[in-house]
Each structure stands twice: as structure tokens, then as C-alpha cells.
Structure 1
């Protein structure tokens, strides 16, 4: 039960109250304008039928199983995937439903080229850490804690490689674009509940139809909602409340407006890493020589009252207009806010204190608030026409973005142990205590990150924590293998707190871009080329010191070229190639004011597509080579602290990818992916040409759905997913040891490489039954799904020399759904 927790009133609370009023006003105004529509419930005349312009919009009706034929946001136009010279995977609604995916990370786990590196939608793709890769309807989203919700998401497009022409900065390895659910012309309703064996309950609704009372199919609505409450596999709290209404207005046969709103409140708790000592991740040996095993991997290093609350809202408008038969205009606008309110005790997994018979994990208390406000817009013209024997689909656009972030963290001082006097490191340890890593910080009166007290027992420590140098006014450490004996944590810290972070960050950017897709030879050959010019400004103010740490405007330009050749008239064999690049703005400058070049990633890619069995089997093989350039670091040839920087090569990643998507029979759907990645650090220094941390050389994902259509199996269905992740190097950075920079001079207690992460297999399986009862209900479906069926204990997603985090073990879901 939560103690002394303040009531949080999200700014968006009133938005939910006025939303029905706003929607009613919109509907009423539409009805007033549409007086020619008969007042009864008769069908609308033929002239009132909805006319959809497909130059911007992808219809999912043509999807077969997991196979999607077209993509909209890859080129900003509705384009056949086989005509796009890039490696693209579309996770459509069928796949999302079969996977029972409730957040983005669950879905991306089945992308063979991507590996999760945090619980916050951070991924490594094609050997590169994700930067600026999270998009919604083509707009970059503010980063935050936790994986992005799937409440109102209909499909996710994974665009591999740099895609800066249409998506802007970042994303060397991949761009993940979530596309929201839009109103449907055919009415439908759906409700689904999910129960887990960990005590988590989730309810979802999805309803779409023509707007009531308006009596016109020109006005369509859709509402998605979620309620979730319970605990995760690790025993931490998890909850979500969301509502996502959208309204579509077909203003005329050539004009359409879509308005959306999304409110999402999520409650979670932290999942701190588990410490590693002595190069053994399985446990810790205390100073009495006794080995203590972590045993159950269901570990959490939190207090019951810790909480992370996040409130997110966005509203958007999408206006489309057919100016001429071959000229189309689109204007999009998005407003977003995100509020994060954290109060928690943060376990310092990079710090340890060893007693004679116990291991202590230091921690401190913090209150961490982040407020993000963003405005984004994009305006585009599409021309479809011919010049001689060439057919063009040309796009020109202008986009701008403004975003402001306020960050404030109040916290207690470190309480790492070893604190006695404040005069110097020579007199702040008791008895024969040892600062193993030799680090002492006068500013915080804290000892190093690893201390030993051979003559202090746990009982003696509990009676007098100062024997191990802990500040009595601060939060006491976690007793790692006997948490029932921990000293109580006060509801409000009695130690002094200070503001460690208080910043205001403002950024804005403007982008001009153009892209042309040219087809010829009876649409057997497609050429594409694009260019983007960007300006970005950033100002960061440290409100603690009233210093402006960054105030700069930078300019960047990027290009892309690609070609697609359908080798036969039936398009059974298709070759493609591209040269794409991407960039990250560099707001640093030299001491003399000279600006630095933006960091860039340049790719060469070749691919072969093969279709067989009448298009029911689609395969793709791809080779890629990406080079990262202009990585900025302190110039070692200049005097220390002089401020001079140099730009050097970064990562080079080469690899091969294969994917297959099949719907060979009504009874079997299949999605297969394989990636081989050779990613190496090319920066000068001790890590030159080393394999990139956490990047598996080989990764395989395979998902199957089996439908029973006859005999005793009729109405039964099952699915099975397999994920293989090859062995991976650890992250070669340690926070426990004096020689943090080079990691080449072993010290007593300094952590070393405890070996590559082992190759892992994860199996997900489900079995279900569906039936059609009497009445208006179209279908009822019951499903039992087991994630990590064999309870694999080696599923890591963070792993350094001194700490790690694991994915959940086996978890059962019980799903019940109804469609009307």
C-alpha cells in the first residue's frame, strides 16, 4: 500500500472532461452544415458516399495474414513496398493481435535486426544505438521512460538503415514508425480482457462507426480505450489508463480531415540493475568466504512506495486536399505534452559495500520531474505526372518543430559508506575498512563505489551504521540477501536534499525536403532520389547556476538515391539498391567559435526480393554497409581542459539480412527473420576494431500461426514464436574502479569482462478457440498464451562489467475477446 504519496493531478485531466463537449460541438456544427441530409435514418444518397484519396492513405483491407502490400509513411505516399528500394517490415494489425502486444518493445522483439537495450524503447539496430528513432504517424516523439503504448496503434513500420530524407536526424540503424488507428467505413466494435498469472488485469475497447445523429457516412469516429492494473513479473506495480478518440470528416470527394486525441496515464516502478562483483553475475561472496547466490531472478531493488507516474497527451490534425487530378496537398499538425513524476529510492547498482557476512547495496532518494511540450507541423505537395517516357511521383515538403523540456531532480547526497570526517580521504574509514576502488569525492562527502569492512558484521552494522561509514540521516542501504533485516526507510528523507539537475532545454528546427520516385519501362524500373536541408537551434539553460551551456544554430544537408528493377514482368524477382545517409546535429563548437560538422551515417545497401506461389510467399535478402563519421571527442593533442575537440570515425557495421513472409494456406501464417551483423568500433584508441557491445552476430525470429479449419480442429488456433539471439560482448564500461577511462590497469576490486552473454532461445506459444454465438456477436475468442515458455534464465538486455538486467521469465496470459 502506498504511504504518504501526494495526489497527482495531471494537467490533462480537464481535457478528458471537455472532450465530449468538443466532439458534440463538432458533430452539431457538421449537422448544421449538412441540412440537405434526410433527418431520418435512411441510407445516404449515392452522392454522399465517402470517396477516399489513396495517395496518402494505405488501406489495410488488402493485407493477407502478416503480408502488407503497401506502406504510407516510408515515402510519405501510398507506395507498393516492392517498389521501394529499402528493407522494410510492416507489423500489421493481424500480427499485433496474434502477439497480444501491448507496448512497442514486445513487438520489436520480433524484428531480427533489433535488440532491446533498455526498458525505454532503446534498441540497437544494424549495430547502432537508436537515436531519434521513435515516430508516430511520421512525427518524432519525445523520449521518455517506459515502452511506448500500443493502445491506438494499428501497424508499425520498421525502416532499416538511415532514412533522414523524410524522417530527419538520427536513426542510422532503423526507424520505428507507429501508425494510429483511424475511423473505419464499416462499423465494428471489439472488447478484450487480459489476465496474467502475476496478477495483472487489462481491459481494451475499440469502437468505430459513422457518427451517431449526423446521418452521413462522411463523418466517422473511432474510440480506443485501455484500463490496466496489477503487477509485473518482477513484482513491481504497473497500471495504465488511456482514451484515444478520432474523427474523420470527408469534406468532399477531394478533401478530408482527420482529428485525433490521445490521453495516456501510466504508473510503473523502476527496474534497477543487479550488481556484479568478482566477475560472477550469479551472486556475491562476502568477506567470511560464504557464497550467496541470487537464486530467483525475480529481483527488484525498490521500496513499496516508489513510483513513476507519466501522463502523455497528443492531439493532431491531418488535412488532405486534391487540388488537381494529379496534384495533392497534405498539412499535418501535432501537439504533444508529457509529464513524468518520479519519487523513488535509487539503488546504486555500480556501488557495493561488503561486510564480514553481508553485502550492502547503497541507494539514495530522489524526486525527478520532467515536463515536455512539443509542437510539430508538416506541409507537403505531391505531383503525379509524366515527362516524356518517365512517370513521376514527386513530393516536396516543409516541416518545423518546437520542443521545450524542463527537468528538475532533487535528491539526497550519496550514502556509499566510508563517510566519517570531511577533512580528507585519510580519515573517513573506520578500523581496517578499505576503499577498494580508491575514489573519494569531497563535494558529496562520499567514499568510493566499492568498500570493504572485514571486521564489521551485519548485526554490528544494524546496531550502528556508522561502523561502515553510513550517514545516519540518510537512507540506509539494501541488505542484498536478507532484505527483511533492512533498516526502515523514512517516508520523507531526514538528510538534506539538494537540486542536482534543474535545466530548461528549448529546441526548434526547420526542414525543407524533396523526393521523387520515377518509374519507366512499363513500371519495371523505379528510380528514387531525395534531398533534405535542415536547420536546428538549441538552447540549454542550467537554472541551478543560471548558465547557458548550449546556445547554437547548426545546418545539415543529406541525400538519398535508390533503384528498383523488377527482373520479370510478373515481379517474381526484384533487385534494389540504395545509398542513404542520416545525421545528428552537432551543437558543440571550438574555443575559437568554429562550428563542427554534424555526425553522419552513410549506407550502401543491396537487396533481392523473390515472390512465389502467386504472391503467397515473399522473401528478401539484403546486404548493408554503414559507416559512422564525424564523431566528436576531446582532442588529445591539445592541452587538457582547453575545450578543443576533434571529429573521428565512429562505428562501421556490415551485415546480411533475410526475411520471409508467407500465407501458403488458410491454415498457416509465417513470419521469419534472420540478421548477421558485424559491427565494430572504428574510433582510435584501445577499443579500435572491437565488436560493438550487446550486438549479436546472429539473430533469428520466427512466428507462426496455425488455424484449424476442418474436423475436430475446426475453430481452434495456435501460434508459436521463437527468438534466437546469439552471444554478445558485454558493455566495456565499468563504474567500479579507479581507472575508468582505459580499463587496462587492473585494480583490486575493479570489475573485468566476465564473458560474453550466452546465446539465448525464447519461445512464446499460445492456443485458443473461437466461436460464433447466436445474436449480434460476430465472434468470441478465448486464448491462453505463455511468454518465455521454457523459462529461459539467460535473457539479458543490459549487461556491463559491473551490473545487468534480465527480461522476465515464464508468464501466462489468459485472453478473452468479443467482436460485434
Structure 2
């Protein structure tokens, strides 16, 4: 059979049920690989069995296998000594499960009789994925006939089964197919772009309660500012942007300005896919540096219950639960619920927060060709707004990083609700239809006394109170069809769709002057010095419709062409006092062209060209002119490899990005209401990412980025000169994190982790008037993981140490406010988790 092209599966990594679905489909692929394994001595097929065997020493894994199946497994003790098994979870025939347990061990098996298996030395199909059990009736996957002489054969498009407990991970490398780059799932090595994946295991190992805690494990990517200590400003490839241009969830925009004005929650995330470079050809408005697609946890077919507690420095207390399973005997209706409460202080004087999060999810199998998934999220967040430390002269104010200049008694309360509804239906063996709808509504009662303007050399800085009651909402509808077909000798996987959206932000801004304070001796008595002034009372609304198309063309077995494009029709209006103050309509076409060539299977060479656009909602000049969209263009090339039998993934990329017309705050406007466009910016550099499992028990992830990011035009009003370095863009940055779990002996199940994050000095603003010093932050962790500590109960306990050497550093700045956000000092987090199944 020709291997040209791809199998077209419906397990879109960004569809809400994809985490388990992609695994199930990966298991289907494993069936063909399994056929190449040693025959089972004609013992015949055995009935599928549900397995839940975690990665562990091979001897204990085989013991669990024998208890589950009733088979006897014999082997010399020295054959399994010091050997680890990757484990297996799901419903499989026993032989398929055994092949999975032996993957990468160098061992294989033979049946000596109908009930006895003997292990012997030999290749077992390193890293092979087992074949799944026979799917439920109506979900068989026949292959369509060839489209013509010599044309490729494709597997049919099918609604994915949801049968696994966890995503397929090899340490910090995922074997799941990702779909963020093209919305057509495929292995990372086959995609013509830089794509990095943050796995759930890495989030757990590093105790990531915020995205910023873990995203620095991606080269050239970090949270450069925390937007008043409440939301993410993300820097990718030297370019900083608001989170509404960077962050998506299950393929839908996860707004910051319109319906997400606070830190995202990590409790229900399965993984984070980071796509580098412009993504407007699929996602519409986007920053040219790249996007993050947050993939949430999905309902499980087998019962699972988890209770987790994280506690630590600054009175952090964070209990959470994760429960899932079927709601009926046929398992056609599944559920999952993630929930938590969080309370904590801060190393910043008087800064505190409370948070509640709940995320129920349901999956319903309506028939052999139809699936429905419904996701919901509710987030309550109550915190003190924190504008960090001001810059003085050429550096950050020389005061303790605990210094807080605002009023800790004023807090901002935030409520947010989201709902996702996705229907997936097979039109035929080769074509599938998907309809997805997402709605989000949020309200914010912003109340803060905070510093404003620039600090003087003596440390004096203005204080102002902002009261900003805000209601935000956004609604998106996506309709898509995806299929496989042939044109002559070319194979195609085609995605065609249209997205419709409406967004609205209602806001009132009341400003009251509170005199001044001194950075070196902050006031704790706040007295108004001016009357409250209503500086804005109105709303902004945006509507868009956008058709898009992606075609993956197989030119040869190892050469694939990627073509994509999206045409956005966008209209924006700002209304103040019942009068339209600004209105603009924009049409923009965003193309993408990529190519991927594999000279040998473990090596991929790729290149791409893409463009981005970003209408700048609410960006208005003082004469009420809406600033035109910012645009970006990227050229990228790279090489990807899979080493150690696919356990270790590397990506080396070179790129150049040009960005134009980005809005920034008008320095002559003390209200921060108005903006001005900047000229041209350019970022170019080299990035390296490495992630995976080097040997049993040893997981590593490492990054390095060299990024030269500078302004390319002069602007006398903004005080920006050509050649200025972009804010928050270190020339060199990198990270390394590794964990090792002892595999045998009296200390078996104990583990440790250690790593660092490093960044060279960074300029704090576009004018390059001050800088933040470079830093190296050392982290560490200790683990104890015990399977079956009680019957059907696993235990994980850990101590995580952040900034182990208590080094003072600054995470980033607001490039137009001379605000700098200090990094956390030495911090200890303890955690304990019990899993029941």
C-alpha cells in the first residue's frame, strides 16, 4: 500500500474531546505496527480487557498484567532487572496490552501454552502503541477505494472513540497528534511549523498553577507582564501582545479584552500547544509571534477520581478534585468535573487573592456516526491589583521587591462563565462535518488605587483610583467539513470552514486623583485630591465572518505541501455616551504556505511563509480615529528529529518576523484611554527545543533562543528611534528541567528534579530608557510516587522549590508604563495527590 498522504481522522486536537480521541486513533495506527510483532503461537484472539497500568518497573507492571488477565508470565529475574515499562491504559486485547508494556524494553514474548507467556530477548517494537479493542458497533474504520491509478489510500474519517485515561506522553514529549497548526491532526514532526507541546506531566512536575509557571519551557516564550497582577501579557519570539491575540482554548479564541480579564486556570488543562509564528490563516486576528492553544481534559470511559492539595509559601492553599467516568451502562454518556478553591498571599506587601473554579464536561454518543460534547467553565477571582515597581532613571527602583505602592484594602472581583458545544457527524467514510459554538460572559468590578505616570529621581510618583465596572461577552460559531480525496497521483486532506463571531465590551471608567506617594517611603493613608471624573462610559462591539481553507497535499511519500488561507471581514465600532465615536470595517486575507520533507523517517526539514493581522479593538487616537490593524509577516525554516527510538524530540528553527502598525498607549494621555500606532518592528533569531525521555526514569526538557528584536522606524511623538531593542526581548534566553525517578532498590519510587531559567538583560520600554538585568533562576523538586498504596489507590507527594538561591530578578515590564514586575523569591510548595480508580 502506498504511504503517500495521511489517514484523515476526526480526532481534531482542538476539538474538545480530542485528548482521548487522538490517543484512541493513535492506538489504531499501532494495530498495523503490532502486526509486525512476533506471532502469538496461534493462541487466537482473546476478549478485550480494561487495563490501568501506569509507567513503572517492568516487574510490577507484569504482575499487574497477570492479575488483570489471569495469564501467567514467566521470565528470568535478571531479564527484567532495572527495566521500566511505559504502562498501558484503556481497553485492549491482552496481547496488544503486553506489547505496549514491553515497548522500548528490548524484550518480546511467546506463548508456551494457552495460559502461559514467556519473555525472551528481542525487539518488541520500541515505543510501539498497542492496537485498541474492537470498537463499539458501527465504529469500524473501513478504507475507501483508491481514487485512481497510483493514488494514495486514506483511512476513512470517523468520529473518535473516547476510551483512554490519559494522553499518550513519553516523559515531556507527547505522542499525541496535534492540530493547532492546521486543524488537521498529525505528528509534530510532520508539520511545517515550529510546534511545542507542554504536557500534563510537566505541569504536574513543576506544580504549575498559572500558565506563566510552565510556558517558559518553550524557547523564546514567557509571560512578559502580568497586566496589573491579574492577566497574561505574552512574549513569543521577541514580540509582546495582549493575551486575546495569543491564547486559544480548544481552537476557540480565549479572549482577554472581551471575556477573560484574569489569569487562566490550569486545573483542567491536558496540554498546551504552542504554535510559533503568524496563525491568522486559521485563527483570524493573532500576534505574529505565535499562539497558545489550551487543550482541556476530556471525559473518560472508565471511573477515575483524584484529590489534590497544593500548599506553600505566602499562605497558598489550593485543594482540587478531578472526577470522571460513565453515566450509563452502555458508556454512551460520559462526564468529567474539575474543581478547585485557591487562597493565597504574596511576597508583595498586602497583595492577596481568592479563587474558585469549576469545569464540568459531558460527552454523548448519539449514534455510530455522531458525537456531542458540552464543556462549561466558571471562574471567580478576587484579588488586589498590583502594578509592580516603577522604573527610576536607567533601572528599576532600588527598593525591596516586596514594596507595594497601592491600597491593599481595595480588591477587584471577577466572575466569568464559558460554555462550549461541539457536534461532530460523519457524512460518509471520507467526509466529516463539525459544528462548534462557544459563548463567554464576564463581569469585573475593578477598584484600585495604584501608581500612575513616571517616578521622579527622588521617588515621588502619582496615585490614582480607577473604578471600572465592566461587562464583557463574546460568541463564536465554527462550521467545518474535512475530508480525504485524490486528484490523480496527489493525495489531499482538506479542511474548509467558516467562523462567525460577535464581541462586546461595556465599560465605565471613573478616575480620582490621590496625590503622590514616595517609592522609598510609601504612604498607607490614601486621601483623594481631585473629584471623581467619569472619563469613559460606553461600549465597543466587533463583528466578523471569515471563511478559511487548508489543504495538505502529498506530493511524494516523504514530501508534503501545506496551503492555507483565511479571509476576514471585520467591523468594529466604539460608542461613548450613546454616540458612535469611531467605526471601521476591514477585510484581510491571511495566507500560509509550508513544506515538509523527510529524507529519513526520524528527520523532517520544513519551511513556511505566513502573514498575520490584528484589528486593534479599542485602540483610538485622541481625535477618535480607529488605528488600522497591525500586520505581521514571517519566514521560517527548521529541522525536527526524533531520537532514542522516538523518545526524544528536537526542533531547531530560524525565523524572521516583521510587524507593522502596532498600537501603543499615547504618552500624552494620563488616562491611558488613547493610543498611537508604531512603525515597523523586526524580530529574527534561532531557537532550539528538546523534550522527551532519555532513559527509563529520566525526563528532560531544554530550550535555547537567540532573538534579535528591534524597532525599524523613528517616531518623535513616542520617542522611539530606529534600532531600539524591543521591550522584554532578551538576546539570549534558555531553560533546562529534568527529573529522575529511581527505578529499583530500597529508594524505588523516590525522585528528584532540578532545572533553571535564564535570560539576558532586557530593555524595559520601547524608548530604551531603562533596562532589567539578566538573571538565572534555579528550581528543584523532590517526589515520591507509590502505586497501589491502598487498593486501587495511587499516591504522589512532592516538594517543589522555586528560586532555590533566592536570586532577585524581574520577570518583565509593561513596555509603555515603566512598570516592572519582580519575580518570586525563594518559595516552597508542598503537594499530595490521591488517585482512585
Report the TM-score range of the alignment, normalised by the length of the smaller protein.
Answer: 0.7 to 0.9
Partner Cα separation in structure 1 for residue 160 and residue 724 of structure 2: 44
What secondary structure is seen at the aligned counterpart in 2 of 1:711?
A: coil
What secondary structure is seen at the aligned counterpart in 2 of 1:567?
A: strand
Could you say which residue in structure 2 is the equivalent of 1:809?
Answer: 825
Which of 398, 401, 416 is matched with 1:297 structurally? 401
Judged with a 3 Å threshold, the aligned counterparts in structure 2 of structure 1 residues 602 and 788 are, in CA distance, closer, same or farther, namely: same
Could you say which residue in structure 2 is the equivalent of 1:68?
Answer: 174
Judged with a 3 Å threshold, the aligned counterparts in structure 2 of structure 1 residues 695 and 55 are, in CA distance, closer, same or farther, namely: farther
Partner Cα separation in structure 2 for residue 160 and residue 720 of structure 1: 27
The answer as to whether partners of 1:49 and 1:218 remain within 8 angstroms in 2 is no
Residue 792 (1) aligns with residue 807 (2): yes
What secondary structure is seen at the aligned counterpart in 1 of 2:225?
A: coil
Judged with a 3 Å threshold, the aligned counterparts in structure 2 of structure 1 residues 51 and 339 are, in CA distance, closer, same or farther, namely: farther
Matches within 5 A, 1:16-27: none
Which of 448, 470, 478 is matched with 1:378 structurally? 478
Residue 671 (1) aligns with residue 691 (2): no
Matches within 5 A, 1:428-577: 477-478=516-517, 480-482=519-521, 486=523, 488-489=525-526, 496-522=531-557, 524-543=558-577, 546-568=578-600, 571-577=601-607
Q: Which has the larger radius of gyration?
A: 1
Judged with a 3 Å threshold, the aligned counterparts in structure 2 of structure 1 residues 278 and 583 are, in CA distance, closer, same or farther, namely: closer
Partner Cα separation in structure 1 for residue 626 and residue 470 of structure 2: 30
* TM-score of the pair, normalised by structure 1: 0.76
Partner Cα separation in structure 1 for residue 820 and residue 627 of structure 2: 36
Could you say which residue in structure 1 is the equivalent of 2:657?
Answer: 626
Deviations 1:261-288 (A, max 9, x none): 11110111111232344445353xxxxx
Could you say which residue in structure 2 is the equivalent of 1:442?
Answer: none
Partner Cα separation in structure 2 for residue 553 and residue 799 of structure 1: 29
The answer as to whether partners of 1:163 and 1:582 remain within 8 angstroms in 2 is yes
Partner Cα separation in structure 2 for residue 353 and residue 692 of structure 1: 24
Could you say which residue in structure 1 is the equivalent of 2:124?
Answer: none
Judged with a 3 Å threshold, the aligned counterparts in structure 2 of structure 1 residues 723 and 47 are, in CA distance, closer, same or farther, namely: closer
Judged with a 3 Å threshold, the aligned counterparts in structure 2 of structure 1 residues 495 and 773 are, in CA distance, closer, same or farther, namely: same
The answer as to whether partners of 1:532 and 1:559 remain within 8 angstroms in 2 is yes
Residue 758 (1) aligns with residue 773 (2): yes
The answer as to whether partners of 1:680 and 1:692 remain within 8 angstroms in 2 is yes
Residue 173 (1) aligns with residue 289 (2): yes
RMSD of aligned residue pairs (Cα, Å) = 3.1
Matches within 5 A, 1:239-254: 239-254=354-369
Deviations 1:723-770 (A, max 9, x none): 11112223144xxxxxxxxxxxxxxxxxx935x422210111110112
Partner Cα separation in structure 1 for residue 644 and residue 664 of structure 2: 53
Judged with a 3 Å threshold, the aligned counterparts in structure 2 of structure 1 residues 374 and 589 are, in CA distance, closer, same or farther, namely: closer
What secondary structure is seen at the aligned counterpart in 1 of 2:554?
A: strand
Judged with a 3 Å threshold, the aligned counterparts in structure 2 of structure 1 residues 167 and 51 are, in CA distance, closer, same or farther, namely: farther
Could you say which residue in structure 2 is the equivalent of 1:658?
Answer: 688
The answer as to whether partners of 1:127 and 1:173 remain within 8 angstroms in 2 is yes
Is there any run of 5+ residues in structure 1 with no aligned partner, and where?
1-42, 284-293, 417-476, 635-644, 734-751
Residue 160 (1) aligns with residue 287 (2): no
Partner Cα separation in structure 1 for residue 533 and residue 620 of structure 2: 31
| Distance apart, 1:496 and its partner CA | 2.9
Matches within 5 A, 1:560-709: 560-568=592-600, 571-585=601-615, 598-629=629-660, 650-685=680-715, 687-709=721-743
Partner Cα separation in structure 1 for residue 620 and residue 377 of structure 2: 39
| Count of residues in correspondence between the two structures | 662
Could you say which residue in structure 2 is the equivalent of 1:465?
Answer: none
Which of 376, 399, 414 is matched with 1:261 structurally? 376
The answer as to whether partners of 2:463 and 2:514 remain within 8 angstroms in 1 is yes
The farther-off stretch of 579-588 and 555-564 is 579-588
| Distance apart, 1:549 and its partner CA | 1.9
What secondary structure is seen at the aligned counterpart in 2 of 1:105?
A: helix
| Distance apart, 1:531 and its partner CA | 1.4
| Distance apart, 1:808 and its partner CA | 1.3
The answer as to whether partners of 2:393 and 2:457 remain within 8 angstroms in 1 is no
Residue 139 (1) aligns with residue 245 (2): no
Could you say which residue in structure 2 is the equivalent of 1:233?
Answer: 347
Partner Cα separation in structure 2 for residue 617 and residue 45 of structure 1: 31
The answer as to whether partners of 1:367 and 1:411 remain within 8 angstroms in 2 is yes
| Distance apart, 1:784 and its partner CA | 0.6
Partner Cα separation in structure 1 for residue 663 and residue 529 of structure 2: 42
Is there any run of 5+ residues in structure 2 with no aligned partner, and where?
1-90, 92-132, 142-156, 666-674
Matches within 5 A, 1:235-384: 235-279=350-394, 281-283=396-398, 294=399, 296-348=400-452, 350-351=454-455, 360-384=460-484
Partner Cα separation in structure 1 for residue 581 and residue 261 of structure 2: 25
Partner Cα separation in structure 1 for residue 480 and residue 330 of structure 2: 29
* TM-score of the pair, normalised by structure 2: 0.74
What secondary structure is seen at the aligned counterpart in 1 of 2:805?
A: coil
